Each structure stands twice: as C-alpha cells, then as structure tokens.
Structure 1
Amino acid sequence: MTFHYFAYGSNMLPARFINRCRSAKLIGTGIARDFRLDFTKQSKDGSGKAALRAAPGAHVPGVIFEVDLAERSTLDQHEGFGYRREDAFVVEDSVPGSTRMTNTYLATLSDPQVKPFDWYLATVIAGAMFHKMDDAHVAALRGIAFIEDTDKERKTRAAAIAAMHAHGIDDYRTLLEWPR
C-alpha cells in the first residue's frame, strides 16, 4: 500500500526527500489552492521552516510523491515537531481540473519573528527550480529574508547541502542571489 504526499518546502527536492523515504516515487507537481506559503513554522533549531497558511484565493505549488505506507512513521518523525499530518489534503495535480487526495503537514507552532536558515531556503528554491515552477514563485522565494546558520556542523544542514550537491548545485548560496 502507498500514500501520496504533497511537499511544498525542502522536501520538494527529490534527493532530500528520497533520503528520508527511500520508497518515494515522484508523481508530479500540484497546487494547494486557498493557501499561502510562509516560513514562520517554529523549528527546534530556532529557525523558520515552510508552512502553509489558509488564504482564500492564494495558491502554493508543490510536488506529489508516492510513498510506501510503511514509511509514513519515518516521515512523521522528520516532520513531527510543530507540524500535524493532514491525511485528506486535496491538491490540484498537473492535469488541469484534476485533484488528488494527499498527505501533507500543517504547522501547529508559529512565530512571525523566525526566519529560515540560508541553506534551508536554498533547498526550497532548489526544489522549485528542479520542478520548473513558475518564475514568480522562485522570485518570491528569493525575496524571503533569511539568516545565516553559524553552526557549520549541523546534521540537517549537511544533509540539505548533500542533497543539493546530488542535483548539481555546488554552492547553495548562489540560489539565494537576487535577481538570478
């Protein structure tokens, strides 16, 4: 058995997500209607992570993966802190007018003062670019204020940088440059 997962943050980058859920298969892109994206989900490391917030009329592009049900608990562990899993999250998939029931994670902890780490935001941008999301979305991501992570030994930082390297990105900081 499998489930569909809608990624809208750093998990959009295939190497990042497949490192977490080995069975994951890319299905395609999708759109979450009536939501906006921000980076105010409070993380254990003090930074901001991606979050979907209700916003009538807005939309957020993302990526749909198919994952073995046996790996859902692994995904819950990665996403668990400050998120709740939504098992009936409807997204429009790449076929116009077609929808798909997915799982995603919605933030339960929010702090408007937090900012994403540079490497985290770069990973989100890398995922958006990999999936050829529209220029306006990539530009909006590049406009997000971020902070430099001074902990160069952080494991999540190293994993994200390795995932970007797997996609041919030698210096993640180039993804943050404006304009590009």
Structure 2
Amino acid sequence: MSKPTFAYFAYGSNLLKERLLLRNPTAVFRSIAKLEDYKLDFEAITDPNLSRWHGGVANIVEKPGDSLWGAVWELDNKDLPNLDKQEDIYKGFDVKVCYPGGQKVICRTYKIDKKGNPMYDKRPSPHYKDVIIRGARELQLPNDYLDFLQKIPDNGYQGRVPIYEEVMKKLGAKL
C-alpha cells in the first residue's frame, strides 16, 4: 500500500534538492513545471539582517501573461508540517502547473500575502540567490529562465548565513 502524498511546487531555495531534503526527507523530484499568470519577485518582510537568508526571499505575485519555472516534488503527507514550518512566513495554497509535455498538475505552493516593508532592501543575499541558481541548474530549467535568475541583483551581504552553510555542507562544497 502506498503512502499518502502531495505534490509541491517549489520556485525559490527549494529548487535545490539538498535544500529541500534538509527538512523534508521524503521529497522526490517529479518534473520541472511552469506556473502561468504569476511572476517571481522578492520581499523583505523583516530586517534582512534578522532573516534566515539575510535578504529578501522569493515570492510569487499574480501577473496575467507572465510565468515562472519551478520544480514539482512529491512528499509524504507526514512532511507537510515540516514544509509548513519551513515556509513559516508564507501562506500555503494550491496552484495548477504545467509540465513541459503539457500535463497539468495541482500542487501546493506558498506565497507571502503581505507586502514587504519598503524600508528594507528586498534584494536577495548572494547566498540565497546562489542556492536558487544551483537548483535551477540542477533541474535544467530553460536557459532563458536561468539567465533571468542570474540577472537578479543581490544585496551584497558578505556575512555568515548558517542555512547556506548547512546546504553547502550537504552538497559537499567548500565555503
């Protein structure tokens, strides 16, 4: 008998398998997918120096005609509380994404409903941006989308980011 599972659409740091597996050990990659009528943005909900990633975090914003790429992961239902906790500033909801072959799938994803604080820099830290780009490369997202991600300006933060160090350790990368 198979375990109950759910599909999760990731578009930020959870594009990178090693990042997602830190807190969600049952995650299995299913496919890349496109989310229509949304765009990728970044928000600074709190002082970037107090945030886990020391900068703005990825968010999706409704925008008819736009789209963004991400990954569909299948997780056991027992990991849903882990994912909800990891995505604590986000609100979970369902979206319909499209696989490259045209199949449409309903997935859980997350977005920040409240506007970021305009007194804080919403640009991502270089560390956070690096994890997103590593994930996009690992998944072989379309080249034009990878180019888009690489052109996102970062905030230049140079200090320690413990979650980044944890991910890099899992990758076996030297800092």
TM-score between both structures, scaled by the size of structure 2: 0.86
Tell me if structure 2 keeps the 8 A contact 1:119–1:160.
no
* Alignment counterpart, residue 91 of structure 1, candidates 75, 97, 100: 97
Structure 2 Cα separation of the partners of residues 161 and 57 of structure 1 = 36
2:77 is aligned with 1:69 = yes
Matching residue of 1:22: 25
Shift of 1:64: 0.3
Structure scoring higher RCO (CA < 8 A, sep ≥ 6) equals 2
* Alignment counterpart, residue 109 of structure 1, candidates 104, 111, 114: 114
Shift of 1:41: 4.8
Tell me if structure 2 keeps the 8 A contact 1:41–1:107.
no
Shift of 1:170: 5.2
Matching residue of 1:157: 164
Shift of 1:75: 0.5
Shift of 1:18: 1.5
Gaps of 5+ in 1: 172-180
Gaps of 5+ in 2: none
Tell me if structure 2 keeps the 8 A contact 1:90–1:99.
yes
Structure 1 Cα separation of the partners of residues 114 and 134 of structure 2 = 25
TM-score between both structures, scaled by the size of structure 1: 0.83
Shift of 1:138: 1.1
